[in-house]
Amino acid sequence: MAGDDEKPSASLPEGVSRRMWLLNFGSAVLLSGFRGFPDGWPQQPTAGAAALPPGLYRPSLDHLDHALSSEGGFFPVPPGSETEYARPRSGPFVPQAFSSEEYRLLRRLVEILLGEDSRAAQVSDEVAEWIDLVVSGAPGSRAAARKLTPELRALAIAYFGDEEPVRQLETFAPEQICKEGFLWLNQEASQRAGKTFLAADQTVQAELVRSIADGQPARARNDPGARLFDFLKAETIRGFYTSRAGLAELGYTRSFYGSSPGCSLDPRSPG
């Protein structure tokens, strides 16, 4: 969808050109459902983005195979690269969206959802860190979506083909879902076992999670526990199946093409 050469609207996030907004918006939508940019908007367009004409673009996936093919946990960042690669931490993980106690609760819930086995223990940290990133980025995503001019909002609706995804960007508040859901879990654990969720034994923990799972009576009330389960289930699945363990389970063969490579066979040769 082509754009124009008008100057960026004053209602866009500070320092973000119309073209940069569309590039970021389109890329995030296609890759992760527009979960936001926790470190804030870039103040200056990159050299590559500045050279592109105005418009709505699909993201470049050319670097995906290189990153996933790396034997280590992190792919070396090429000098001058415009791709944002994950970098190893110099210390322990510090959650951005949760307190230490809340993060421990989140990690335990992820472990239960993944299953009580060695695989769950190996990837629970990775998935919990992903959920922390999603939640910490949500306020920025909402603020950016709400600052869209009527013209850009109409463009976003046209991009999706429906207004509902845009309204979801403007209102989705996973931080509130988690806060209310964690409170609900602790209250329920206190009633059943006289303890907080984390202090309760694993049988009580598992029963509580089952009580808010798909098809259970609690879901009919649309209570905080059911909303928490829906959010964590979706993000746990997303986090796991984009982890190395999840890709291995899917049989990922480390072959990726940004575009179809075509067929090398001569079409005139006999089948």
Q: Determine the pLDDT at residue 227.
A: 93
- Residue 220 DSSP SS3: helix
Structure-token pair, residue 264: 């090398």
CB 57 within 8 A of CB 28: no
Decide if pLDDT at 204 tops 90.
yes
Mean pLDDT of the chain: 74
pLDDT in tens, 157-189: 888 899 998 999 899 999 999 999 999 999 999
Q: How far is it, in rounded angstroms, from Cα 160 to Cα 173?
A: 20
Decide if pLDDT at 5 tops 50.
no
Average pLDDT over residues 185-206: 96
51 C-beta neighbours (distance < 10 Å), count: 8
Beta bridge partners of 55: 2
Per-residue pLDDT band for 20 (boundaries 50, 70, 90) equals very low
Q: Determine the pLDDT at residue 75.
A: 64
Q: How far is it, in rounded angstroms, from Cα 27 to Cα 213?
A: 32
CB 34 within 8 A of CB 25: yes
pLDDT in tens, 215-251: 776 566 678 999 999 999 999 999 888 887 777 777 7
Structure-token pair, residue 260: 């179809």
Decide if pLDDT at 1 tops 90.
no
